[in-house]
Structure 1
Amino acid sequence: MSEDTDTDAAHCTLCCCTLTNKILLVVFLVLLILAILLGNFITLAVVMGTKHFHTPQGYLKASLAVADFAVGMFVVPLTVYAEVSLMLRDSAPDWISYNSQAIRFHPCNIIGPVFAGCTLVSISTIFLLTIERSIAVLRPLHKESVITRKRTTILIIFSWVGSFFLAVSPIIFSNEIALEYNSCSRMCNYALGTIGEFPTRAWNILLLFPTFDFTLLGGTVVINIISLSTIRKYSKRRKHLAESECQSASKPTFSDIKAAKIIGTLTLVFTASFTPIAVFVVGNVLGNEWCNFSFFSFWILATNSGWNVIIYSVRDQKFRMRAQKLLLPCSFSNNAANT
């Protein structure tokens, strides 16, 4: 009994040491589920239900919304169930205390790869959005021929297949890696199985995640910097020169520029959300536990799933008006009648 108490104390994060903090955590998680599901449902409804958004960019935004929706549908609810079970104590399921190698069916075998896969889908989709916007800004005359809905659909499929293959690769290619409900992060994480020391093979496999993620994010940031620098040059030229029709035809449109800025904001927010988890993964592989940092880094990343609809609403007037029409149909019909 004393050993269990010592273990609980060692893994006691700031949010979960007292009953009050545990209740506040559950309330936060429930509100997070509602925010993620509602926000991404609105995004999907606007994108799929509005002809204006039936574009390659719209398809990519829909893919991003589906990945975020899955986090709110599957990942966060499991944590709510686990935390409520832990508060009740007597009804806490065995899978909370043991990893996937000790139990025949472990929920983390599904939820862990879902969260990792959706995170990788988000990163790759933001990368594709950045590529799409950079072509529209840097090569506007080639936009229609290079960026097509068919090609975008194929890239989205590759993004999902590749991301989930990478997500399940640790447990496919190494029997030394298991999944567990981590008492620090309050989430399903990859962990050691039954061995005592971290082998080189498992170390290399787990480092695939931060390597892949930072490679894509680094490329995304560089491309965004190039695109935004080009937009800044165009803005300066508009202030000092009167452009001819021939010149304006080879320049990006106002909507392309606005969309590029939105994608830049998405990249900035996601990079800020993902950086703590990447630092934690590298530190964990090197032997550091960082219990409190683990909790905050994982849930900062999970919270990012509800941010995209806010960014679209603030930066894109057409999206905002369509979302308001979906949420407040009576108000819009009254305004139309008064007009």
Structure 2
Amino acid sequence: MKNITHTGVSSTPTMLDRTEQAHCTVCCCTLANKILMVLFMVLLIFATLFGNLVTLAVVLGTKHFHTPQGYLKASLAVADLAVGIFVVPLSVYAEVYLMVTDSAPEWTSYNSQSVSFHPCNIIGPIFAGCTLVSITTIFFLTIERSIAVLRPLHKDSVITRKRTTILIVLSWVGSFFLAVCPIVFSSEIALEYNSCSRMCNYALGTIGKFPSQAWNILLLFPAFDFTLLGGTVVINIISLSSIRQHSRRRKHLAESESQSTTKPTFSDIKAAKTIGTLTVAFTVSFTPIAVFVVGNVLGNKWCNFSFFAFWILATNSCWNVIIYSVRDQKFRLRAQKLLMPFHRKNTTKT
């Protein structure tokens, strides 16, 4: 059975083939590797939950962040939070069960077409949907920042909280619609727990041949992901180029000149650079998946690489709060107050 990633096609073996493999994967060759893998997954859960809960607390609990940009950051945090709550814990359960009992859970040996209920029927679309939501949200953040930088006078009239809320709802609905499309519109596609990636992936029930209908449906993922991410990178380049030109002009123009009223504010520039950093981080984490898809199309299995590709993408769920803390001083100060509730009292006493 061939395995399908949420962004493309994989021919890596399923959990059913675990005992038939002549070689072991890098994450499970020895007991030490298995323990390190589970420890990594557990730490990732805590990092994802902690970081994104802090982000939500700062954004939702601070009036300063009740802006279109803040709403988009909250949406991104919820998508990342879902990965830490649903996706990674299932992998931890499967791998701990395998270590303790020396046999995999029964459901990992079958795909979703073979049993009435399969956990991957829920977890697979959640991971795919949340990844699509993240890409869409970063695209919206980039658009919002580009308008603030390139058209500062039109920012407040074009970017409103109502419009942003509508876009957020549409992004969630559209992303999860795409995530369930493969299993809804094709009887050839199922979901399974893959022994290489250690995650729930889309899989084809036909051996050695791609059904044309399933192929066309699965192309929705890479087409959507790569087009949106590519557009995001281009828009960020345009915005950052404009910021660079603005910085050069500022050296030659007095602050009192009339042109200063049409320039983006310092906070808008800082926010644009933050979103640029966010885009770079997501692009770096998503690139291994892109390479993996291309390799699969060319007929390469890359079992070990699939593990790293998927889990590098999963680690992106805990990076956003670090980027905000480094790039956004107001976010950092607010987060410090939340994490150190007695700091202000001690400062007042001294």
Which TM-score tier does this pair reach, normalised by the shorter chain?
over 0.9
Query: 2: CA distance between counterparts of 1:44 and 1:140?
Result: 27
Relative to the length of structure 2, the TM-score reads 0.92
Q: What do residues 218-275 of structure 1 show as CA deviations (whole Å, max 9, x unaligned)?
A: 1101100110000001111111221335311111000000000000000000001011
How far apart in 2 are the matches of 1:118 and 1:192?
22
> RMSD of aligned C-alpha atoms?
1.5
Match of 2:319 in 1: 307
The question of whether the paired residues in 2 share the 8 Å contact of 1:181 and 1:187 is answered with: yes
Q: Would you say 1:141 and 2:180 are equivalent positions?
A: no
2-structure distance, mates of 1:4, 1:308: 37
Q: Give the letter for the 2:287 counterpart.
A: T
For 1:68 and 1:101, locate their aligned partners in 2 and report how far apart those are by CA, in whole Å. Answer: 28
Say yes or no: does 1:29 pair with 2:41.
Answer: yes
Whether contact under 8 Å (1:221, 1:267) holds in the other structure is yes
What is aligned with 2:66?
A: 54
Asked if 1 retains the 8 angstrom alpha-carbon contact of 2:295 and 2:301, the reply is: yes
Q: Distance in 2 between matches of 1:201 and 1:290?
A: 25
Q: Does 1:81 align with 2:89?
A: no
- CA separation in 1, counterparts of 2:348 and 2:65? 23
Number of aligned pairs?
335
Other-structure match for 1:191: 203
Corresponding residue for 1:239?
Answer: 251
1:105 aligned counterpart, secondary structure: coil
Match of 2:81 in 1: 69
Q: How does 1:272-283 map to 2 (within 5 A)?
A: 272-283=284-295
SS in 1 for 2:342: helix
| Cα offset, 1:185, TM superposition | 0.3
Structure possessing the higher relative contact order (Cα contacts under 8 Å, 6 or more residues apart):
2
Cα 1:190–1:286, aligned 2, differ >3 Å: closer, same or farther? farther
Please tell me whether the aligned partners of residues 207 and 282 of structure 1 are also in contact (alpha carbons under 8 angstroms). no
1:16 Cα deviation (Å)?
A: 1.1
SS of match in other structure, 2:156 = helix
In structure 2, relative to structure 1, the CA distance for the partners of 1:337 and 1:52 (3 Å cut) is farther
What is aligned with 2:127?
Answer: 115
**C-alpha separation in 2, matches of 1:162 and 1:326:** 34
Supply the AA of the counterpart residue of 1:146: V
> Residue 190 of structure 1: SS of its match in structure 2?
strand
The answer on whether the counterparts of 1:85 and 1:92 sit within 8 Å (CA) in structure 2 is: yes
Q: Which of the numbers 212, 215, 218 marks the counterpart of 2:224?
A: 212
Offset at residue 200 of structure 1 (A): 2.2
Per mean C-alpha deviation after superposition, the further-off stretch among 12-21 and 212-221 is: 12-21
The corresponding residue for 1:94 is 106
Match of 1:38 among 38, 50, 74: 50
Letter of the 1:199 counterpart: P
- Residue of structure 2 equivalent to 1:228: 240
- Work out whether 1:126 is the aligned partner of 2:135: no
Alignment of 1:319 with 2:327, yes or no, is: no
Name the residue aligned to 1:288.
Answer: 300
Amino acid of the structure 1 residue aligned with 2:59: V
Native 8 Å contact 2:18 2:195 kept in 1: no
Aligned equivalents of 1:5, 1:69: Cα separation in 2: 31
Equivalent-residue separation in structure 2 for 1:128 and 1:4 (angstroms): 42
Equivalent-residue separation in structure 1 for 2:143 and 2:118 (angstroms): 39
TM-score normalized by structure 1?
0.95
Shift of 1:285: 4.2
**Structure 1 residue 208, shift from structure 2 partner:** 1.6
Alignment identity in percent?
81
